[in-house]
Structure 1
Amino acid sequence: MSIRYGLLALLERGPMYGYQLRSAFEETIGATWPLNIGQVYTTLGRLVRDELVESLPEHDAGQRPYRITEAGRAELAGWFGTALPRTDRPRDELTIKLALALATPGVDIDTVVDTQRAASRRALQEFVRRKIRDTRADNVSGRLVLDAMIFQTEAEIRWLDHCLETLGRAATQPAAEQPVAEQP
């Protein structure tokens, strides 16, 4: 998730200072992804530099609020109006890890998959518990984020099961004969 667009969306509600933005971000997404306050202020600095946000005079308490600009509103509208291509999403570290485990001598791939599967099942149980505990009717965004995490974790577990099945089938099939390289 782009923190840039998250902050722009929150500032569309009205001016806020850094800690308010962090709290609003975490509340909006159901406290599932913590946001580092340093990341908030670094991103705000870039948004000011890009003239998508402007800083307002400090309050008595020394807090500097920020406000979205018209250019920021246009940028945010463009983001909301554009689909995210699959290629723009971060690399999947688990997929890379399993591919490397298969190619690394001495690594027990079944153990790697089983370890991840157990961790994914624990995460799924925690996401479901969080969803059950959150009974606030007005927290639709938080529930939708938890639903997405539940669905993604269920899909990961299904994929890990598929990996184990594929590895099991590969282990029972005879290895294809490799052509012998000619000697110079």
Structure 2
Amino acid sequence: MSSNNCNSPNGLSEDAAQQSTGPDISDIRHIYETEAPRLRRYFQARLRSRDDAGDLVQESFVRLVGCMARAELPRPAAYLQRIAQNLLLDRYKRLETRLSAFHVPIGEDFEIAIPPDQAARMEAEDVMRIYRRALEELPQRTREIFLAHRVDELTYRQIAQNMGISIPTVQYHVARALAHIDAALEQE
């Protein structure tokens, strides 16, 4: 099952799934309260960054709600687990693809045209150029919140208090910035 594919397990057609009234907010809240801590531990055990784990928990629930809006899920927690596994798999595949550009086969007849340090530096400069351009394209408030979180290393709570906004609003802006930057990097 793909992380973006939400087939109805009970055999509903797409038309029947679209006629669904969507997920009940209390159901989503209950699922979040019971599953988010477990999901955070799952991601933290597999990633180095706590921020990345939080981002993936958020992305998992966004995708789950999207699936719940399209079809009735008899076991949403099982779907959530599959979504989480797929997100990690997608993340590792993207990382592997990006790192494959740095792989240089060296054989007897192979001559390196550009020294490895220079090639890596050029690649890093390209990534930073794309990253800066993507940051500049963000709305000012989103950019400020993202930089406060990623550069100044402020927590969501600290940012929310400093800017007089709610924590979910901070989460929204950080997720929006991450999605925009990721899309910019994927395009290159």
- For the superposition of Structure 1 and Structure 2, which TM-score range results when normalised by the shorter chain? 0.3 to 0.5
Q: Tell me the TM-score normalised to structure 1 length.
A: 0.37
Task: Give the greater-gyration-radius structure (CA).
Answer: 1
